[in-house]
Amino acid sequence: MAKNENNFELELNGVRMHVARLNLPGHVAFRIEFSSTRKPLVIARATDAEAAKFWTSIPEGRQPEAEGVGKLIEAYFKSE
């Protein structure tokens, strides 16, 4: 079965996350809604001055969450 790249669900530690792909001009971002009381999160892949890629939150300020959820999204797309 093909993966749905636009809307999918993830789960970690009993918290479900509904992930929706956002197509922004020149970027791909994801909006994550949590089953817990945590506020929704928007993340995007970015590149730093040394050309290293990383996940960041939009707006900035939730970097640890962005990196954690970003790794889950990467794992989702890499899994069969």
The full set of domain ranges for the chain reads 7-78
pLDDT of residue 1: 40
pLDDT of residue 5: 79
d(CA 22, CA 20) in angstroms, rounded, equals: 6
Per-residue tens of pLDDT for the chain, all 80 residues? 456 778 999 999 999 999 999 988 888 899 999 999 999 999 999 889 999 999 999 999 999 999 999 999 999 999 85
b/e map 21-53, b = 16+ CB within 10 Å: eeeeeeeebbebebeeeeeebbbbbeeeeeeee
pLDDT of residue 18: 97
pLDDT of residue 25: 86
